[in-house]
Chains A and B, each alone.
Chain A
Amino acid sequence: MSYEDRKIRILIGKPGLDGHDRGAKYVSQILRDAGFEVIYTGIRRSPEQIVDAAVQEDVAAIGLSLLSGAHNVLFKRVIDLLKARGASDIVVFGGGTIPPKDIPGLKEMGVSAVFTPGTPAKVIVDTLKAKLCQPA
């Protein structure tokens, strides 16, 4: 199936306690304009809420936005829960205020890409298209 035929669905979630959703909403908008179907789930969600929603929605990817500094813990929790639900094929990417020194560790645990502030929109879209739109 071609990209045109099968719409790619992405869930955007904000785990943890910070309420700064401008970045998450901005990325949702970018992805919407790039032709993705974005399921936006709002602020202050638990990893359980995000993963359960992603499985029900049969998304291809989960984007996690986090500015509280708890990424090492919460991203890992999301990835562990996906494994537990038999859904590790769902691609996880992240963004927010994440120190560069933490990025290798996040990738090691299975985060597919990390987009820190200043990442051009086109880079986000192109990266996700390359990861998600392989011909089936």
Chain B
Amino acid sequence: MQTDLPTLTEQAKGGSVRAAARLMSIMTDAPQRLAELLRGSHDWPQPRLVLGITGAPGSGKSTLTDHLAHEYRTRYPDRRLGIVCVDPSSPFTGGALLGDRVRMMRHATDPMVFIRSLASRGHLGGLALGAKGVARVMGLIGCDVVLVETVGVGQSEIEVAMSADLTMVVLAPGQGDSIQLLKAGLMEAGDLFVVNKADREGANQLYQSLLSALQLEAMAKADLRAHCSGDLNPQPNVFLVSASQHQNITALIDGLEAWTDREQGNWAEERQKQVIDEVRQALLEEVRRRVIRTMGTNGKSQSRIERILSGETTVERLATEILTEVLK
């Protein structure tokens, strides 16, 4: 397999889909090469917008992603679009079934759409290690917008907010009462909210509760800052859509486009901060790999762990022992 970065970069820029796909594999498979990758990629063109799409399993993220892609492609026929979709790896076998493409196959033969499925590979936070790198390669090959769809998340997997320019939280009716909307985590991570499945019962009620919860939150924040001179009743960014019926998707894209035009200048600095976070993640992953290699996987580490249970050693002492071995 060709793994020489400058060669692959040239080929990918020249239009080779294979080379771009290989670069993406390096991004996900070789965190230890991140420094080389970042140095090599600092002058690559970047997407205008990296949009994170997150929400609970079954809230309709993939269908929404598909319809956003369709709308973007219709609006800008000569612009390229990237889609990164992450599904979970099994914590038991390490295997994964990546099924997001099923809902996006109408774009499969569109040369202006590049879709890449990633398995989370034990990475918590809703994304996969290297997801940002994959989005970066999409920038290299000229993607104007990159949609990053996370695994179905619970309440606290909000890494996407640190990896995207804008984070969209997708909700669907039937997933909990208004107290759920006050909880910390996911709801704080959203720059904008989409109530999906507008054609279903309860969607309008959810939309209203969400509006009021977000207004309450904005007021509480202003109150804490003790400056009530600002806008006390800001209009939260909430959209009521039905992805499967392609209902209100146009308004959603209008909103996203206006936001991108307005804020893009401020994103460069954010993106720089995200690179630091990315390096940190890669570093932690490399440490984790080395420790696991030394410690052994579940079966192999049993005898060591039994020494703790028998009182022969402590968690702290064993950890030091393992770390010493890692450095040998």
Contacts and interface: CB of A to CB of B under 8 A. Distances in A.
Interface of A: 1, 5-7, 28-29, 31-42, 45-46, 48-50, 52-53, 55-58, 85-87, 136
Given A38-B98, A57-B21, A52 B109 contact: yes
Contacts of B108: 41, 45, 48-50, 52-53
Contacts of B20: 56
Contact of A32 (B18, B96, B105, B114): B96
Contacts of B115: 53, 56-57
Interface residues of B, number: 29
B94 interface: yes
A55 B95 contact: no
Contact of B119 (A7, A29, A53, A87): A7
B268 to A, nearest CB: 28
B93 A40 contact: no
A40 B98 contact: yes
Contact of B95 (A34, A42, A50): A34
Give chain B's interface secondary structure class: mixed
A116 B223 CA distance: 68
B93 A35 contact: yes
Given A34-B93, A55-B17, 18 more contacts: A6-B29, A7-B94, A32-B96, A34-B95, A37-B96, A40-B97, A41-B105, A42-B101, A42-B102, A42-B105, A48-B109, A49-B108, A53-B101, A53-B108, A55-B21, A56-B20, A56-B21, A136-B1
B65 interface: no
A21 to B, nearest CB: 10
Contacts of B17: 52, 55-56, 85
A37 B105 contact: no
30 contacts: A1-B29, A6-B29, A7-B94, A31-B95, A32-B93, A32-B96, A34-B95, A35-B95, A37-B98, A38-B95, A38-B96, A38-B98, A39-B98, A45-B105, A46-B109, A48-B109, A49-B108, A52-B17, A52-B109, A53-B101, A53-B115, A55-B17, A55-B18, A55-B21, A56-B116, A58-B18, A58-B21, A85-B17, A86-B18, A136-B1
A35 B119 CA distance: 11
Contacts, number: 88
B22 interface: yes
Contacts of B1: 136
B146 to A, nearest CB: 14
Interface in B190-234: none
Interface of B: 1, 17-18, 20-22, 24-25, 29, 89-90, 93-99, 101-102, 105, 108-109, 114-117, 119, 121
B119 to A, nearest CB: 5
Contacts of B114: 56
Contact of B97 (A38, A48, A57, A86): A38
A41 B97 contact: no
Residue from A7, A86, A136 whose CB has the most chain B CB atoms within 10 Å: A7
A39 B86 CA distance: 11
Given A35-B95, A49-B109, A40 B102 contact: yes
Nearest to A46: B109
A52 B96 CA distance: 21
Contacts of A29: 97
A89 B90 CA distance: 28
A41 B99 CA distance: 7
